[in-house]
Amino acid sequence: MKSLKRRWHKLDNVGKFYSSVDLKSTQKIFRYSATLKRNIDKEDLQLALNMTIKEYPSFNVTLKQGLFWHYIHEVSSINRVSKEKFPICYKIYDNDGDYLYRVSYYKKRINFELSHIVSDGLGSLEFFKLLINNYVNIRYKLNIKKISSDVSLNEKEEDSFIKNYKKNKIRVKTFHNIYNYKGEKYKTGTQYLEAHIKLNKMLDLVHEYNTSLTVFLISLLIYSFKKKAKKKIVKIDVPVNLRKYNNSLSSKNYFALVGIVYKFNKNDKLENVINSVDKQVKEELNEEKIMLRVNKMVSFEKNILCRISPLFLKNIFLKITNMFVIQLSSTCFSNVGRVEFHEDVNKYVDNVNVITNTPNFQIAICSFKNDLSINISSVFKNNDIIRNFLRFLTSNDIEVVINANEVK
């Protein structure tokens, strides 16, 4: 195999954060998977990965330590695909030279796992879609002439945080007295659960409440806290794709977290929560407010004291900061949206899933054709919030098919 030309890259704002807080212990990892109609061929999957990496060389990287920040360096050879052997979202980086991504397979399923250091959910989704397109095209000899996008390498590797940063006085509202779920944790890992629902049936229920799918599911998640939260605030962090605000085509991290909050009154119903969430979503997704949040994120690394501080001091500070940040949210809800492959590829795919690891619990959703995949990560045994969430759906005649890993 021909070696790749090696280059190094600065980390974006989010990549710098995750490279400092979760290297040897828990690492923030995205996992996309696609279940196909037939068993996966290892050699064809490797060929597909080779082709995909040529379009995204900045994903074929390892982490390096600089004096002031970590950075990533392209690896001369392409990672090898393997039969799935590690637990879901198992740590990727362990030693110098390790790749920051993993491609595996099991029976009919292809898995792509990527460190958050490299990219976010939507940036990694484009890579995953191209990987599946390439695999199906090779495996079934479809002779599709045009699979890759017209996005240039420079556009993919743009640091949109820095490009769109504007120095200004920043004030972002903070919340206190936030409810954090407490409970017995699993000893051996994280529970990962896939809940598959017919999208059309789900939308029928959503339309009864005269709202959108995202607003409904965020509201239902909040409502599932009702008996637990009592006088505290429930705060759901929702990642927002920033590319649409700046016409960015970057495959690096480029998102901001918007906090959706709710404090229950005794007789509140789901409708009350939906009205509040809908109002907040419309207000908080204002471009000006969103970019203020982004500027706040970038202003830290622009600070002169931060810039001149050696990496080991930044690592200590960011790890301590992360401990406090975790307490400022009840959970996280992420909607990747509808996933579509090349029109000739779609018929070879049964379903798609997206999931990420977590220090507590969170939900990520995506849809493919008429399948809505609700993916839940939780470190807690007998999680009441998740149980309430799923019971509401089944009590409204929504059939839920569940797949889950074994964990003790």
pLDDT surpasses 80 at 170: no
Retrieve residue 84's tokens: 């799935």
Alpha carbons within 13 A on the beta-carbon side of 305:
3
Other CB atoms within 10 Å distance of the CB of residue 54: 12
* Mean pLDDT (the chain, rounded): 91
CA distance 90 to 293: 31
Retrieve residue 332's tokens: 């996280």
CB 253 within 8 A of CB 294: no
In the prediction, which pLDDT does 23 show?
Answer: 66
Q: Over the stretch 331-369, which tens digit does the pLDDT of each residue have? A: 999 999 999 999 999 999 999 999 999 999 999 999 999
* β-strand pairing of 101-106 with 109-115: antiparallel
Q: Which of 36-40, 296-300, 318-322 has the highest mean pLDDT?
A: 36-40
Domains of the chain: 8-147+154-162 (3.30.559.10), 164-404 (3.30.559.30)
Q: What mean pLDDT comes out for the span 62-71? A: 90
Q: Which of 303, 306, 311, 313 is nearest to 165 (CA)?
A: 303
Q: What is the DSSP letter of 58?
A: G
DSSP string, 259-312: EEEEE--TT--HHHHHHHHHHHHHHHT-HHHHHHHHHHHHHHHHSHHHHHS-HH
pLDDT surpasses 60 at 4: no
pLDDT surpasses 50 at 50: yes
* β-strand pairing of 349-356 with 82-83: unpaired
CA distance 128 to 36: 14
Q: Look at 98-102, 224-228, 305-309, 393-397 and tell me which has the smallest mean pLDDT.
A: 305-309
Q: What mean pLDDT comes out for the span 8-29? A: 84
Other CB atoms within 10 Å distance of the CB of residue 212: 17
The pair phi, psi for residue 174, each rounded to 5°, is: -115, 155
- Kindly tell me the burial class for residue 72, based on how many C-beta atoms sit within 10 Å of its own C-beta (0-12, 13-18, 19 or more): buried
